[in-house]
Structure 1
Amino acid sequence: MTDTPASGRTALLRATITVVARGGLRALTYRAVAAEAGVSHGLVRHHFGTRDQLIAEALDYAVDESLRASSMFDDVTDAAGFAAGIDTLAQLDGDMQAFQYELLLESRRRPELRPVAQRYYSAYRDANAAALHRIGVRDERLIDAVWFALDGLVFRQVVLPEDVGPVLDRVRELVRAAAAE
């Protein structure tokens, strides 16, 4: 089966995520991505041009895939369904989550990556806000607090997986109370 340009590009993005998740941004080279994807390193440069473009596109891909895979904000109709899947998000694709957090930390050291980090936070915050608005939560400060709590829970799951069910239950209680107001 021949690889189409779109699926070849996706393979390179996934390879980028794997390389960074396992070795950090310092390990990210065209050769490392090419080796992970099983292609020539010239193909990586051809598709993305610069390393920063590769990083930016990989993060956009990771955010889209994480939101799609977790369905943590999709079709939320009540507080009980809110954040469904957040407890398993890191388990679904730990490399995907580790890659995202690695980039966020690197953006602290490299100001040129801050717009990429801002897109990350905006995408998740907006998805979180949209889900909460659908179930009647209007308090923007609570919406931000819930987003920060969920982000922290996923980070914790990436680093030290544990049962976060009781914490999620409390978040849902807060959301339920706010939706009833």
Structure 2
Amino acid sequence: MTAVDSVTGRPSPRYGEGRRALLTAAVHVVAGQGLRNLTYRAVAREAKVTHGLVAHHFGTRDALLEAALEYSVENSVASISARPGTGDIDAIFAGLIQIVHDNPDDQAFQYELILESRRRPELRPHVESLYRTYRQALRDELAHGGIDCDDTMAQLFIAAADGLIFQQITLDHPEFNEAALVHLRRFLKTLPTPE
């Protein structure tokens, strides 16, 4: 039996779903309105809950921002490989453009945070963590395929994917970006593997 919220009259989410709905709402607010508009009230309005519930779950705006970033990265880091843990080069970034097309908010949220960090240096550790996570995920995936990829090489590939993602959410040219990813994977295949 589904519980009903006595205040809103809507079905109450199961444990853990409410927090997830708030994080989805936070990502959507930032993606659509910018980081400066991330408030408890805006998130509550998007999630259709009271703003007190947002404050209860996160305590501070910074805690909300950090949790939303972690949530966003978890959603998008899976786009590193269509077959994680296999080291299959053909799976690297496969489906990336479709994931961005289906859910552009995660990437738009991340770009908003990245740009805002230019004005607010206290956000830079979040941006550094974001890119460190992506680089490590790619390095791990390539290592499964026997390719030793250092941090600077991973940065090059992540920067290439980052540019394609940015163009996808702004220009929406999926065919062109998919073709570019074919070239990127072709280059990955030229990297030396242990004999």
Q: Give TM-score, length-normalised by structure 1.
A: 0.91
Contact 1:76/1:82 (<8 A) preserved = no
SS in 1 for 2:89: coil
Match of 2:184 in 1: 171
Distance 1:144 1:36 in 2: 35
Residue 36 (structure 2) pairs with residue 26 (structure 1): yes
Question: Unpaired runs of 5+ in structure 2?
Answer: 3-11
Q: Matches of 2:63 and 2:154 in 1, distance apart?
A: 31
Runs of 4+ residues deviating >6 angstroms: none
Larger RCO, structure (CA 8 Å, separation 6 or more): 1
* Percent of aligned pairs sharing the same letter: 43
Counterpart of 1:46 in structure 2 is: 56
| Equivalent residue pairs, number | 180
**Cα RMSD (Å):** 1.7
Could you tell me whether the CA contact under 8 Å between 2:142 and 2:149 is conserved in 1? Answer: no
More helix by share: 1
Q: Hey, what does 2:110 align to over in structure 1?
A: 100
Quote how far apart the aligned CAs of 1:137 are: 2.1
Give the TM-score of the pair, scaled to structure 2.
0.85
User: Alpha carbons of 1:19 and 1:134: their partners in 2 closer, same or farther (altered >3 Å)?
Assistant: same
Which blocks of at least 5 consecutive residues in structure 1 are unaligned?
Answer: none
Cα contact 2:40–2:51 (8 A) shared by 1: yes
Are the aligned partners of 1:132 and 1:143 in contact in 2 as well (CA < 8 Å)? no
Query: Quick check: 1:84 aligned with 2:94?
Result: yes
1:151 aligns with 2:167: no
